[in-house]
């Protein structure tokens, strides 16, 4: 119990740090956070199935990394503030398949060198241009991790004026977004002193794969998943801790399991309780 409480406290402390970033990168030409070589918001483009997409492109200094959407025990996930944008109804990050990064004996999920993060855009009014402004908080890590913020913008563009398809770097990032799994996921929920432990089981993706469990609900801390295999099935076990520090009614429809292999990834939404 002490270990879990310490992890939650550390995550909370890191979250507090992220609320007041140490280094702030302004519009193009401003100072960038240490460890970041460049940052930009790509122009609006046509994506798959008549969608509109852009992407955040972060180029890291050698040896630096940044987190995936689920950063592990002690990381803090990225946050996005689009409130200064115009004619924007929705901006949905489409996270590409992450790398499994071992650092000081801890496993994290993230990216080295570069992150091209596709964003699916929905206009509030399809007959008006969309202008994008983003403030993004995230973590940058070398030997230690530091909080960073970038303020990015893309010129206002009318939906009728978008290029015919995504450029090569955005297309490559979209190709790495996990597929939606068709297999059924079974799960067991066990109350623990400070939350709920979830064990989710699905067809094994192979010996080189790993798994991440998430809950699409703000404020719930999730531990790194422990993986076991038997009879062609993989089971991922993680602790879910709510701000109350007590057991809570976990909605299994909001549970997300992602299997991550070196060359592909599959994610599953929801599970059937066993």
Task: Pick the closest to residue 166 from 41, 48, 246 (CA basis).
Answer: 48
CB contact at 8 A, 134 and 82: yes
Distance of CA 53 to CAs 82, 85, 139, 155, 159, Å? 14, 15, 24, 13, 11
Assess whether the region 2-175 and the region 179-273 belong to the same CATH fold: yes
Q: What integer pLDDT is reported at residue 101 of this predicted model?
A: 83
Please state which of the ranges 44-48, 79-83, 112-116 shows the lowest mean pLDDT: 44-48
- What would the CATH number be for the domain defined by 2-175? 2.60.40.1250
Q: What integer pLDDT is reported at residue 18 of this predicted model?
A: 39
Separation of alpha carbons 102 and 100, rounded Å:
7
Separation of alpha carbons 113 and 36, rounded Å:
9
H-run or E-run covering 127: none
Separation of alpha carbons 6 and 9, rounded Å:
5
For the 179-273 domain, the top CATH level (class) is mainly beta
Separation of alpha carbons 103 and 123, rounded Å:
40
| pLDDT above 60 for 11 | no
pTM for this model (two decimals): 0.86
Tens digits of residue pLDDT in 19-43: 333 334 444 456 889 899 999 999 9
**71 or 88: which carries more pLDDT confidence?**
88
Q: What integer pLDDT is reported at residue 164 of this predicted model?
A: 78
| pLDDT above 50 for 16 | no
Averaged confidence pLDDT in the chain: 87
The average pLDDT across 169-196 equals: 95
Sequence spans of domains, the chain = 2-175, 179-273
């Amino acid at each position: 119990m002490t270990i879990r409480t310490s992890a939650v406290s550390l995550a909370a402390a890191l979250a507090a740090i992220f609320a007041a970033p140490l280094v702030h990168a302004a519009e193009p030409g401003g100072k960038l956070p240490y460890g970041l070589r460049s940052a930009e918001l790509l122009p609006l483009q046509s994506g798959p199935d008549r969608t509109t997409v852009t992407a955040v492109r972060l180029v890291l200094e050698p040896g630096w990394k940044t987190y995936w959407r689920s950063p592990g025990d002690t990381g803090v996930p990225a946050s996005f503030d689009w409130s200064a944008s115009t004619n924007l109804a929705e901006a949905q990050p489409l996270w590409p398949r992450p790398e499994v990064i071992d650092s000081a004996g801890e496993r994290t999920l993230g990216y080295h060198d570069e992150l091209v993060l596709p964003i699916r855009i929905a206009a509030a009014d399809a007959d008006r241009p969309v202008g994008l402004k983003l403030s993004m908080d995230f973590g940058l890590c070398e030997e230690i991790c530091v909080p960073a913020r970038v303020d990015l913008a893309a010129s206002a563009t009318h939906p009728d004026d978008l290029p015919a398809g995504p450029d090569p770097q955005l297309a490559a990032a979209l190709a790495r977004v996990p597929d939606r799994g068709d297999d059924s996921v079974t799960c067991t929920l066990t109350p623990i002193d400070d939350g709920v432990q979830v064990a989710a089981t699905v067809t094994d993706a192979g010996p080189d794969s790993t798994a991440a469990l998430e809950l699409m609900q703000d404020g719930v801390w999730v531990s790194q998943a422990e993986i076991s295999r038997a009879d062609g099935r993989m089971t991922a076990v993680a602790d879910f801790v709510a701000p109350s520090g007590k057991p809570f009614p976990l909605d299994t429809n909001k549970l997300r399991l992602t299997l991550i292999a070196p060359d592909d990834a599959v994610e599953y939404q929801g599970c059937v309780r066993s």
